[in-house]
Chain A
Amino acid sequence: MSFLQILWFILIGVLFSGFFFLDGFDYGVGMAVGTLAHNEGERAQIIQTIGPVWDGNEVWLITAGGAMFASFPYWYATLFSGYYLILLFILVGLILRGVSFEFRAKSPDEKKPIWERIMAVTSFLVPFLFGVMFISMIKGMPIDAAGNMHAHFFDYFNWFSIVGGIALALLTYLHGLNYITLKTKGPVSERAQNYAHFFYWVLYLGEVIFALLLLFQTDFLAVHPIATLLCLVLIVGFSVWAHAATFANKQGHAFTASGLTLVSLVALIFCGLFPRVMISSISSKFDLLIQSASSSNYTLIVMTIATVILVPCVLAYTIWAYWIFRKRIAMPRIGVTD
């Protein structure tokens, strides 16, 4: 394993962390459109919190996918062809969700609820399926000597992966609630806070079950005991911090902490995988390793140079955009100019 290979393994993890931190609250906000709002005005208010930024957040996923293709083509090939149907439904979810913002905005009022419902359902579907995918992946999938995965339904869907999917969806939902609390004022903001108070109790339960399943269903504890336990502690710790912050009315803290919970989950997955990228349930000889799944050294150098130049720019204008849209959003009052 070369330095660049390890660097890119970490960078893929960073890109997925960025995706879950940023697009994560978009999914939560999307789910909240269906669960938190009481009327059309509130739904509009909630959607407006992410209107200008969700598209940029989703690019983190596209970048993660592209970077995986470029830096670990064998990982990309095995993962994407192996999780065919799950990715198909993730794509359907992303497509419908992606057009729902623009189509809703341009639709007549009576048709807006259709797009809002689509937004809510797909915003749940996508993180749920990502959870199922990543969690079944760390359990190990039937990967043969040629690196091809031939999995059956119960390889994808089992107790562990379903708990993982629900936990991830719940995490993004809570992250979205914290974001709404932070970005709105009025009844929506207070309600989001109350919902968060409640759902964190559910999350703790989910986290305990998830941790137990992780310890028994994966080899993470055996391979990397300290890192695994540390990540689990971080996940729970950030959840508690976020929960406490919602009570203390420290909305920025709550949002940061829920984001970091998601980042810790990604860290847990990547730490546990190391030095593998995919685990074969047939034989550990067929595991995909960082060392053998990566691109050539030359490609990694080219990619590293581009990343070093471009990522600071991306971060700079992304932060600038968030700063421009920094104000809280009040409930829209139609016909009133203030």
Chain B
Amino acid sequence: MSIVSLARFQFAMTTIFHFFFVPFSIGTVFVVAIMETLYVRTKDPSYKKMTKFWGNIFMLSFAVGVVTGLIQEFQFGMNWSDYSRFMGDIFGAPLAFEALLSFFIESTFIGLWVFTWDRVKKGLHLFFIWMIVFGTITSALWILTANSFMQHPVGYTIRNGRAEMADFGALISNPQLIFELSHVLMGALLTGATIICGLAAFQLLKKRQLSAENKKIYHKTMRVGLWLMLIFSLGSIGAGDMQMQYLIKEQPMKFAATEAVYKTTKSPAPWTVVGIANPKTHQVNGKIEIPGVLSLLSYHKLSGSVEGMDEVNAQLEKTYGTHIDGHKMSYYVPVNTLFWSFRVMCGFAALMFLVALVGLITTRRGKETLYNHRWMLWVIALMTFSPFLANTSGWLITEFGRVPWTVYGLFTIQQSVSPNVSVASLLTSNIIYFVLFASLAAILVALIVRFLRNDPVEWDAAQADKKATDPFAKGAF
């Protein structure tokens, strides 16, 4: 095991785990904010119970998201010190802004939001949660500014052997950022809507003896959630499509790999639905093709060929050479990972859209078709897991698609790793993180399941009873 492979494994593991919770918390807090907005506007107390109840799920996801984010910040220095030296001038600023603009807002206003129910005016309390939403969204903006630079460097000069920032405006108007941010945000909001719908469906499934009021709350949750699911699944698909159009031009290797195209296709290009690519022979085995569809997907018309990986590789070799810093370069990316991740991502996005549509039709104007068929509720309940698969697949495409670079065209993975960290240290940290993540995930799931034994009405009443133990109950306002 080399330090590079261990450091890469660690980056993959920590990022994937962290990114389970990022869209989870961005999405759920948005849905909860919508619920509280509905409460403030309609004054319907069932919306308030909904808000408080689902707010707890957000709080749990946020706690794990924050602490796993700490690892992200530290590991650039710990595992990738040469990368930090090369990129610090550009990478550090967005990271610092993220802390200054987003993390302070999130953490302060979460404290305010959780501990001031019924103690401040409704409008002010609503303001608190929208500030949290603002914090989570700007947080995505800053971290993706850094990531976009790695995918598509802009506004820099190379001086003293490192990338120096030359134009901050170019950094935040990076076209890569615009596509990436809209896709990630839509995906995150879709995640929140889907999870809350799914959990509400589980509640309706498990609890046969629900009181009318609880049932009403879950039904309302479903309606709000399904609407958001529909809107954001459409948004995700649209944003994803736009990002793809951009990739065809900017990162043709990544795009060709998601379609497993080795040789530049004829026009119109056939679309490989499934298949297993063989990176040695450059053949795709067992493939099922539909003529013309790849052109349609890529260019939205029935003509146009798609550049193959072999041609792209030849161009990249011409541009960057076959050796960088003494290492032999291969510009091929892990094709099967990208090919299948792409299908998982798109498949689940389409599925979420369909489920939301059917769910809305079967619950329109107070109809209860959805709630009367257990299998339909099961479908929605199981959707809870789909955004995690879709989001992870999306990031696998993004990050594996820029192999062998950490900063596209400028700096390689080989060059980035910390030269002074030992294999033993990396192995230790990998094992510790793995055990830690597995435990955190298990505990989190157990706590969510445990919390969901409650129902909003009784839970809210129990909280109200415990006011005496609340530090801010007495005379704080």
Q: Which residues of A contact B (CB under 8 A)?
A: 44-45, 48-49, 51-53, 55-56, 58-59, 62-63, 65-74, 76-82, 84-85, 87-88, 91-92, 94-96, 98-99, 101-103, 106-108, 146-150, 295-296, 298-299, 302-303, 306-307, 310-311, 314, 317-318, 321, 324-327, 329-330, 332-338
User: Which listed residue (A87, A299, A317, A338) contacts B108, Cβ 8 A?
Assistant: A317
| B117 at interface, CB cutoff 8 A | no
Among B68, B96, B111, B112, point to the contact of A66 (Cβ < 8 A): B96
B111 and A56 contact, CB distance less than 8 A: yes
Q: Which of B77, B451, B475 has the most CB of A within 10 A?
A: B77
Instruction: Convert B67-85 into 0s and 1s, putting 1 for each residue whose CB lies closer than 8 angstroms to a CB of A.
Output: 1101101101111011011
Known: A65-B74, A70-B96, A149-B420. A337 touches B471 (CB 8 A): no
Tell me the bound Cα distance from A53 to B443 in angstroms. Answer: 24
Please determine whether B99 and A58 come into contact, CB atoms closer than 8 angstroms.
Answer: no
The docked-state distance in angstroms from the alpha carbon of A78 to that of B76 is 11
Give residues in B with beta carbon < 8 Å to A.
56, 59-60, 62-64, 66-68, 70-71, 73-74, 76-79, 81-82, 84-85, 87-93, 95-101, 103-105, 107-112, 114-116, 120, 159, 162, 164-166, 168, 418-421, 425, 428-429, 432, 436, 440, 443, 447, 450-451, 466-472, 474-476
A sample of 15 more A-B contacts (CB under 8 A), given A92-B432, A147-B85, is A52-B115, A59-B99, A66-B92, A66-B95, A71-B92, A77-B84, A78-B81, A87-B74, A91-B70, A98-B63, A106-B450, A311-B100, A318-B108, A333-B468, A333-B469
Is there contact, CB below 8 Å, between B440 and A99?
Answer: yes
CB distance from B279 to the nearest CB of A (A): 33
Q: Does A88 lie within 8 Å of B432, measured CB to CB?
A: yes
**Chain A residues, Cβ within 8 Å of B159:** 296
Contact between chains at A85 and B95 (CB < 8 Å): no
Most buried by B among A45, A85, A88, A303: A88
Q: With A65-B74, A85-B428 given, is the CB distance from A302 to B165 under 8 Å?
A: yes
**A20 → chain B, closest Cβ, in Å?**
17
Check B108 against A107 for contact (C-beta < 8 Å): no
Pairwise interchain contact B84-A150, C-beta atoms closer than 8 A:
no
- Least CB distance from A254 to B in Å reads 21
Shortest Cβ distance from residue A302 to the other chain B in the assembled complex, whole angstroms: 5
Query: Shortest Cβ distance from B143 into chain A, in angstroms?
Result: 11
Nearest CB in chain A to that of B73: its residue = A65
A295 & B88 in contact (Cβ 8 Å cutoff): yes
A65, B425: Cα distance in complex, Å: 21
Nearest opposing residue in chain A for B440, CB measure = A99
- Smallest CB gap from A72: residue in B: B88
Which residues from chain A contact B64 at a C-beta distance below 8 Å? 99
Q: How far is the CA of A95 from the CA of B436 in the complex (A)?
A: 9
Q: With A51-B111, A55-B110, A146-B419 known to touch, is A330 a contact of B82 (CB < 8 Å)?
A: no
Scoring B82, B88, B164, B419 by chain A CB atoms within 10 A of each residue's CB, the highest score goes to B88
Tell me whether A94 and B67 are in contact (CB under 8 A): yes
A149 to B422, CA, bound (A): 12
**Whole-angstrom distance between the alpha carbons of A74 and B105 in the complex?**
29
- Identify 22 residue pairs between A and B in the complex whose beta-carbon atoms are under 8 Å apart, listed by A's number: A52-B111, A63-B99, A63-B100, A66-B95, A66-B98, A70-B88, A71-B92, A72-B88, A73-B85, A76-B88, A77-B88, A80-B78, A88-B429, A92-B436, A95-B436, A99-B63, A108-B450, A147-B85, A148-B418, A299-B165, A317-B104, A321-B112
